[in-house]
Structure 1
Amino acid sequence: MENVNLLIGIPAYNEAKILGRVLKSLPRKIPGIANINVLVVDDGSTDGTAKVAESAGIIVARHLVNRGLGGALKTVFAYARKNNFDFLVTMDADGQHDSQDLTRILTPLINKRNDVVIGSRWLKPNSAPFSRRFMNKLANYVTLIFFGISTTDSQSGFRAFNKKSIAAVNLQTDGMEVSSEIFREIISHKLSVREVPIKAIYTDYSKKKGQSLANAPNVLIQLLLRLLR
């Protein structure tokens, strides 16, 4: 086996209630990966999120204030570049993602077929609430119009990047619009991308997290402003 190093980056904001369970579910071994490292970005939490991660022996990067999803992902990418990781996987901290899908999302990278892999919740039937479906379809449409990419899940937080794409992706936004910005970077740097089906776990807790219909106009406006610059 090649000495392939993986970083799992988990942005977290006030996730102390569930984060320990998420970290415990992560596999210790993945076929084709020699070393698995985990980074939790505590994005200005006030509930002890960082302590939960530290007590599990996980490396924590702390933001003194809440910078948003984009700000947290900037820190994840910077850490991956600084430490020369071969692969990077981003996951949500709210328990929505199934760690058993890590092998599926990494396989195209391990086999050198793609630079970026998006885990899509919509390639399989799921019980996603209407607000999630609406927000995702809206963002997918914007992504298609501006970038020419037809995707089923532009807002997925479960993604995998190889070393080439880790170096290329240069995020500028701090908010939720970062998910669509990633597609701009994929197109800009001519990265090879594919979607793979993943399981989405919707609990009462996870349904309270993420984007809401009330926040949809603001997310869309911020995305359009960024795209039109």
Structure 2
Amino acid sequence: MYRQHTVGVVVPAYNEEGFVGDVLRTMPEYVDRIYAVDDCSTDGTWDEIRQTAEEINGAAEESVAAVRADEQPVTATDGGPAFDRRVVPIQHETNRGVGGAIKTGYLEALEDKIDITAVMGGDGQMDPDILSRFLDPIVEGKADYTKGNRLVDKEYRDGMSRWRFFGNSVLTFLTKIASGYWKMMDPQNGYTAISQRALENVGIEEMYEYYGYCNDLLVKLNARGMRIADVPMPAVYGDEESSIDYPSYIWNVSGMLLRNFCWRLKARYLVLDFHPLALFYLLGTAICGVGVLGIAWSLYAWMTLAAPLFVRGSVSALLFVTGCLFVFFAMLFDMQANESMEV
């Protein structure tokens, strides 16, 4: 336990042989439950998880029994007493993506009624010694969800290539708009922690299973009124090989963010409550679209039909600028509405 809160850690792993075992062994002592999820790896990841689990569970048997004697009894997923095994090995029969692996761990943590559930990748890039920084804001009631931030300090960005930094910055901006967390940075950071209350309310069963799961979860958290906090941390990249197909990743995540943005506006500002910013976004986008079409037609008519350009082009440009103003005002209203939701 950590400050009277039970702590679980989900460790998603896909082809992390040689890394995941060390991740499990270096987990802080106060972590009650470790959900090691092998996402149908093609190497020796599953064997490494099982062997390490047997090693840790065997060594911790006496201390776990003492914890059970002191804690309130909770039913575990295997039908026995809670925390009978510190490490719970789980294997997917098919590859479901990192989001799918994390979803599996989250659902297990909900069954175990874990107070705070963190996520640490099986690649060894996340320092277990700073896990308490992610837990403290939740324990103190300041936030429902915490996530790492590698962009806040130049010193922390030293381990990140310029290409990674550029891509992360673009996704940060898009996720700010989609999620409504305008102060948040580094949404792709997978080092996170979430409270039991937040986990129960975000509809984790519907969580996106591709690499954009973290962006998807941020949108759902905002729609449910959950507070988040960024935790500064350095960027660390080891010898592991990324399995991300970047063209597919960019296409899928961009589409997901657009869908989630529209869903959030409807759910939070039209269904659960009402705020005119949703209408400002809608009108602004529509007027911008009309303006762009008008400008394109004006240029076409001028070039092919020798039609006058000034009046038609000016009206179209005015419509475009007006639409942009509507969108900017909508963003401003969204920032104000979410100001208290970021620590």
In structure 2, runs of 5+ residues without a counterpart are 54-86, 264-343
- Which residue in 2 is equivalent to 1:56? 52
Quick check: 102-111 or 211-220, which moved more?
Answer: 211-220
Q: 4+ residue runs of structure 1 moved beyond 4 angstroms?
A: 210-213
Q: Is the 8 A contact 1:135 1:216 kept in 2?
A: no
Q: Identify which of 209, 212, 228 aligns with 1:177.
A: 212
Counterpart AA for 1:138: V
Q: Identify which of 109, 122, 132 aligns with 1:103.
A: 132
Q: Distance in 1 between matches of 2:174 and 2:130?
A: 27
Displacement after TM superposition at 1:170 (Å): 2.1
RMSD after superposition: 2.0
Q: Distance in 1 between matches of 2:209 and 2:188?
A: 15
Q: Distance in 1 between matches of 2:188 and 2:35?
A: 21
Counterpart check, 1:80 vs 2:102: no
In proportion to residue count, which structure has more strand?
A: 1
Larger Rg: 2
Counterpart check, 1:144 vs 2:144: no
Q: Is the 8 A contact 2:3 2:139 kept in 1?
A: no
Q: Distance in 2 between matches of 1:177 and 1:66?
A: 16
User: TM-score, normalization: structure 2?
Assistant: 0.60
Q: Distance in 2 between matches of 1:165 and 1:210?
A: 30
Count of matched residue pairs: 222
In structure 1, runs of 5+ residues without a counterpart are 30-34
User: TM-score, normalization: structure 1?
Assistant: 0.88
**Are the structure 2 counterparts of residues 200 and 212 from structure 1 closer, same or farther at C-alpha, using a change threshold of 3 Å?**
farther
- Which residue in 2 is equivalent to 1:209? 242
Counterpart check, 1:219 vs 2:248: no
Q: Identify which of 36, 42, 48 aligns with 2:32.
A: 36
Displacement after TM superposition at 1:134 (Å): 2.7
Q: Is the 8 A contact 2:168 2:186 kept in 1?
A: yes
| SS of residue in 2 equivalent to 1:161 | strand
Q: Distance in 1 between matches of 2:123 and 2:247?
A: 20
Q: Is the 8 A contact 1:105 1:159 kept in 2?
A: yes
Q: Distance in 2 between matches of 1:161 and 1:92?
A: 15
- Which residue in 1 is equivalent to 2:74? none
In proportion to residue count, which structure has more helix?
A: 2
- Which residue in 2 is equivalent to 1:165? 198
Q: Distance in 2 between matches of 1:217 and 1:2?
A: 40
Counterpart AA for 1:7: G
| SS of residue in 1 equivalent to 2:104 | helix
